[in-house]
Amino acid sequence: MNYRKHLIHKDKEVISALRMLNELALDSILFVVDDNDRLIGSLTDGDIRRGLIKELTLENQLIDFIQPHPVFIENGNYTIEDLHKFKERSLKIIPILNESHQVIEILNFRLQKSLLPLTALIMAGGEGVRLRPLTENTPKPMLKVGDKPIIEYNIDRLKLFGIRNIFISIKYLGEQLIDYFGDGSQKGINIQYIKEDEPLGTIGAISLLKGIAHDNLLVMNSDILTNIDYEDFYSSHRNNCSTMSVSSVPYNVKIPYAVLETNDHSVVSFVEKPTYTFYSNGGIYLINKEILSWVPKNQIFHATDLMQEVIKRGAKLTNYPLLDYWLDIGRHEDYIKAQEDIKHIKF
């Protein structure tokens, strides 16, 4: 979305504002700015209507109609709770200001769910051997599910939650991803590519990252199809004061017989045909920035290695049970299932 469609200079005529509001349709609110894009006020159809009732005319200055104290977000200085309060007040479109009080972006809750202070890394360098021959000339992340590549669902969902700084780790046929997504500007995001000269495992590419803008890094595999609630994941990570959070997928195992608990050959209790729930690694992680240095440079290092390192150092590793849709597209049967599931999943 071009946020400048919502900006109008304070010296513009009222009729110009009406035309702009009409073009914005469902998103009809303007933010009145000065020569340097500093926020002065907000303006809606209702503000103009109320002004006319007070006997203002279309010849009056635009500034006579505005709301002089609009709600805004200070870039990098807000909480998830702040966003929830805006939603509770039914505020749909909110300007984002820099430290100079200039409008630099717009948060539109109709188009995105949140504004998470996260940088993301998508691991997309694998060869997809189990999906051959589909991956002989196409990298697995670029295989289409429905009408777009697997990885594009992940990128679009990150954007939906306001995550706009995205790194993609590439190796096998990686140029196809660069050609398709470019720098991300067509999607209104910033994409940078990390090229692995040698395979670095499921999380080793972290050692190549530079210029991470946020305190937390979200890392995920590119071949996952999911509608995970990233805001809830982030809130869980923060509320638990976690060093690293691991999404997990619950698996229920049904035992068709009674399970006995014994002590020195004596049965002390038993459970008839129990069901046990185990949690498997879901391939999506939240990692505090300060532990990224624990990942060694230029060598194979897996997410499970980092998890073990967190435990070894006495830091906090947290499990986040993923109760939303999740599918790891690693085998042909998974790919076939994804083609059917995508018709019914709400993203």
Structure tokens at 280: 């498997």
Q: Across the beta sheet with 165-170, what order do the strands follow?
A: 190-195, 165-170, 118-124, 216-221, 275-288, 244-254, 317-321
Please report the pLDDT score of residue 226 as a whole number. Answer: 95
Average pLDDT score over residue span 120-140 = 90
Band of pLDDT at residue 298, cut at 50, 70 and 90: confident
Please report the pLDDT score of residue 253 as a whole number. Answer: 86
Separation CA 222–CA 323 (nearest Å)? 19
The values of phi and psi at residue 282, to 5°, are -95, 0
Please report the pLDDT score of residue 11 as a whole number. Answer: 94
Band of pLDDT at residue 260, cut at 50, 70 and 90: confident
Please report the pLDDT score of residue 259 as a whole number. Answer: 87
Please report the pLDDT score of residue 157 as a whole number. Answer: 96
Could you write out the DSSP letters of every residue in 211-273?
A: ---SSEEEEEETTEEE---HHHHHHHHHHTT-SEEEEEEEEEEE-SS-EEEEETTEEEEEESS
Report which of residues 233 and 323 the model is more confident about.
233
Report which of residues 252 and 220 the model is more confident about.
220
Decide if pLDDT at 76 tops 90.
no
Name which of 17, 15, 10, 18 is nearest 36 in CA terms. Answer: 10
Band of pLDDT at residue 270, cut at 50, 70 and 90: confident
DSSP 71: -
Residues 121 and 169: beta-carbon distance below 8 Å: yes
- Tell me the pLDDT tens digit for each residue of 29-57: 999 999 999 999 999 999 999 999 999 99
The values of phi and psi at residue 95, to 5°, are -75, 145
Report which of residues 76 and 117 the model is more confident about.
117
* 214, 241, 346 from 289: Cα distances, Å: 8, 13, 31
Please report the pLDDT score of residue 272 as a whole number. Answer: 86
Kindly report, as residue ranges, where domains of CATH 3.10.580.10 are found in the chain: 3-108
Separation CA 347–CA 344 (nearest Å)? 10
What CATH number does domain 3-108 carry, 3.30.1360.200, 3.10.580.10, 3.40.50.10490, 3.40.50.11900? 3.10.580.10
Please report the pLDDT score of residue 178 as a whole number. Answer: 96
**Could you tell me the CATH superfamily of domain 124-341?**
Spore Coat Polysaccharide Biosynthesis Protein SpsA; Chain A (3.90.550.10)
Decide if pLDDT at 1 tops 70.
no
Contacts of 53 (CB under 8 A, 6+ apart): none
Percentage of the residues of the chain whose pLDDT score is greater than 70: 100
3-state secondary structure 130-164: HHCCCCCCCCHHHCEECCEEHHHHHHHHHHHCCCC
Question: Mean pLDDT score of the chain, rounded to an integer?
Answer: 92
Burial class (CB in 10 A: 0-12, 13-18, 19+), 208: middle
Average pLDDT score over residue span 259-285 = 87
Decide if pLDDT at 231 tops 90.
yes
Separation CA 123–CA 101 (nearest Å)? 37
Report which of residues 345 and 39 the model is more confident about.
39
Min mean pLDDT across 37-51, 82-96, 217-231, 245-259 is at 245-259
Kindly report, as residue ranges, where domains of CATH 3.90.550.10 are found in the chain: 124-341
Q: Across the beta sheet with 39-43, what order do the strands follow?
A: 7-9, 30-33, 39-43
Separation CA 243–CA 79 (nearest Å)? 19
DSSP 171: -
> Global pTM?
0.88
Name which of 224, 118, 94 is nearest 166 in CA terms. Answer: 118
Residues 109 and 154: beta-carbon distance below 8 Å: no
Decide if pLDDT at 6 tops 80.
yes
